[in-house]
Structure 1
Amino acid sequence: MPTIYDVAKAAGVSIATVSRVLNGYPFVAEKTREKVLRAMQELNYSPNLLAAALMKKNTYTVGLLIPDISNPFFAEITRGVEDAANKFGFNIIICNTDNDPEKETKYVNLLLQKSVDGLIFATSEIANQNILMLKERQFPLVLIAREVEGIEVDVVLADNFQGAYEGVKYLISLGHHRIAFLGESLNIKSTRERQAGYEKALQEAGIPVEAELIVTGLKSLEEAYHRMRLFYPKARPTAVFAANDVLAIGAIRALKELGLSIPGDVSVLGFDDTIFASIAEPPLSSVAQPMRQMGKMAMTRLISRIRNKEEKCRRLVLPTKLVIRASTKACS
């Protein structure tokens, strides 16, 4: 049976380097990591990870708490997390919280009972007691896509304010002045940031922010669809900025059923640039987030946190990009 010494010899590296690869340390050159993994495969080497985990009190398992994996945005993030986890020898337990604080608490407790090494968390609330508890316990934790207020923890997210601001500026440049905003709960910080970006773009253009054009608290495509059917005949916007692509698709469906043309009568702009955007009819203009990259960075950051709990917290903000498709046009 091959040993770690055989792997080190075959890869031409030290035993310590093989150990770093096995233990998922991020600071190993990619070529070196590939040599070690190739040597392990050729020798059919299978380390006793369970025994090592018991000795080190590590399980090489992390929890990923997301609102809904059926949302393509979180599916892409999950893929990024999983890709990075596999690379470093970690496994993932995925929990869908449905943005329900009670479900979050249930899953956090369950994952702690399973002795996971850390958590990646897309929280449902700006003020989250689970995050506070984990922080007080110095439990390895990285927030993704969303953050909480008043608690210093590692976070990886896109620039929600700037992305929304630039998206609405684009709609204004097309001549739109009556621009509706569709968003999720204002308890989610990313919704607040995107609404703030929307309002800043309007104010800079001298366009009043009208409460009747703002609809928040939406949880699903179906809710966006039903609210838009009721909302449009009263508000009559010429453009809709949706805080995610799911809400945008719901809005498009409602507008079409009301006999309106997209973008002839109403332009629609989403946020995220998920697979929904490219397959929508018409294809949806959207503010793109680097979803898979965010997942990979969150997992890499979590591994660093697991290795060194005293490390300074970091807030990693990634830029967005406006992707223009056929759902937006100049206001006629």
Structure 2
Amino acid sequence: MPVTIYDVAKKAKVSIATVSRVINNSNVVTEKTRQQVEQAIQELNYAPNVIASALTKKSTLTLGLLIPDISNPFFSELARGVEDASNDFGFNIIICNTDYSLEKEATYTNLLRQKSVDGFIISTAYYNDENVINLLKENVPLVLLGRDIEDSRDYPIDVVGSDNVKGGYIATKHLIELGHEKIACLLGPRQIKVNLEREIGYLKALREAKIKVHDEIIAHGDFKLEFGYQKTIEILKGPIKPTAFFAANDLTALGVIKAVKSLGLSVPKDVSVIGYDNTILAEITDPSLTTINQQMRKMGYLATEMLIKRIKRERTPGKKIVLDVDLTVRDSTFKHI
């Protein structure tokens, strides 16, 4: 039979309440008693029942993290930041991969609520996400990470993200300063607000430079390499031949590079490519990728810290943190002659 708190109390010759105080680091226990209990715990190899503890504390010390694509290094970096903060604050993480599906998102939020998680960190939200709205209505602690929604129905909401309008702007401006005028723009799903913001930055830079906007070379996809590859082939075989591509994430940018090479062209001499996120892929691809740097781990850490403070009632919801972005220039962009 598994060892219980009763067995520990009996061996240490103390009350069950005293064992509980030691487990929960109460300062009302003497050092001698603490050592007795800790020795009994060690000798019996006792593991406290977190779920049972949660029934009295109303906490499982567990958070749910919803991300759309764990294979994307951007979300892996966010998750690492979340995990680092969770460890620092004594919480556990359950990670769910939604594949950009609102149905899967709803399934996982319902499942995690049945498991009594203390709160949610959500990196999957669409700009009109009803799943998020429903959680807000029920006052479930949550933080949106790297995402925002357009309408929170006047419920206060916590968000940690980065300046996506600036990111789209400085990426496009860099290409313009290199002499490019026909600049394609490959974005992620239309329903995700960060894409709309990056597109706003892209368009702002073009209009500021009085460069014509070609809708034919602006496209939305799924943030994956295959989309970047297929759409680049399609665009380069079309009537407008861009000399540069701005991709809204690094995976898409890698697809662009692959497509350009497959057509017998050179990156960056024939076509310049700039990505977004500054994941590990940006450094190891050939040529190395010029990209917009996001503070991914910091975003994950801050979101987790915010959520835990909310759970502990150390703060009220309604805070938005927007981290700065900057340009990392590598070998995939080149002056257009």
Task: Report TM bin, short chain.
Answer: 0.7 to 0.9
Q: Report the counterpart of residue 66 of structure 2 in structure 1.
A: 65
1:72-91 to 2 correspondences below 5 Å: 72-91=73-92
C-alpha displacement at 1:14, in angstroms? Answer: 8.0
Residue from 241, 250, 264 that aligns with 1:259: 264
The answer to whether 1:97 aligns with 2:95 is no
Using the TM superposition, give the Cα deviation of residue 6 of structure 1 relative to its aligned residue in structure 2, in angstroms: 7.5
Calculate the TM-score normalised by the size of structure 2. Answer: 0.85
Match in the other structure for 2:217: 213
Aligned residue in 2 for 1:120:
121
Pair 1:188-2:192 in alignment: yes
| Distance apart, 1:310 and its partner CA | 6.9
Out of 289-298 and 146-155, give the one that drifted further.
Answer: 146-155
Is residue 123–residue 147 contact of structure 1 (8 Å, CA) maintained in 2?
no
Higher-Rg structure is 2
Q: Which structure 1 residue ranges, 5 or more long, are not aligned?
A: 17-39
Deviation at 1:67, TM superposition (A): 0.5
User: Normalized against structure 1, the TM-score is what?
Assistant: 0.86
CA contact (8 A) 1:4 1:15 kept: no
Aligned partner of 1:134 in structure 2 is 135
* Alignment check: 8 A CA contact 1:68 1:74 kept: yes
Number of residue pairs matched by the alignment: 304
SS for the counterpart of 2:237 is: helix
Q: CA deviation at 1:50?
A: 4.1
> What whole-Å deviation, never above 9, does each CA across 1:272-303 have from its counterpart, x for those lacking one?
00011001110000001000000000100110
Structure 1 equivalent of residue 293 of structure 2: 288
2:313 paired with 1:301:
no
Unpaired segments of 5 or more residues in structure 2?
Answer: 1-7, 13-18, 29-37
3-state SS in 2 of match to 1:281: coil
Q: Name the SS of the counterpart of 1:15 in structure 2.
A: coil
1:25 is aligned to none
Q: Check conservation: 1:165, 1:200, Cα contact below 8 A.
A: yes
Matched with 2:16 is none
1:72-91 per-position Cα deviation (integer Å, ceiling 9, x unaligned): 00000000000110111111
Q: Does 1:15 align with 2:16?
A: no
Return the offset for 1:51. Answer: 3.9
SS of match in other structure, 1:68: coil
Deviation at 1:7, TM superposition (A): 9.7
Amino acid at match of 1:129: E
Q: What secondary structure is seen at the aligned counterpart in 1 of 2:66? A: strand
Is the 1:248–1:268 contact (alpha carbons within 8 Å) kept by the matching residues of 2?
A: yes
* Pair 1:227–1:117, CA change in 2 (3 A): same
Deviation digits for residues 228-262 of structure 1 (CA, Å, limit 9, x no counterpart):
11111212101100000010000110010001100
Quickly say closer, same or farther: Cα 1:312–1:125, change in 2 above 3 A: closer
8 A contact 1:182–1:218 mirrored in 2: no
Q: Percent identity?
A: 48
Is 1:160 aligned to residue 172 of structure 2? Answer: no
Instruction: Please tell me the root mean square deviation across aligned C-alpha atoms, in Å.
Output: 2.3
Q: Distance in 1 between matches of 2:119 and 2:189?
A: 27
Per the alignment, residue 3 of structure 2 pairs with none
- Aligned equivalent of 1:150: 151
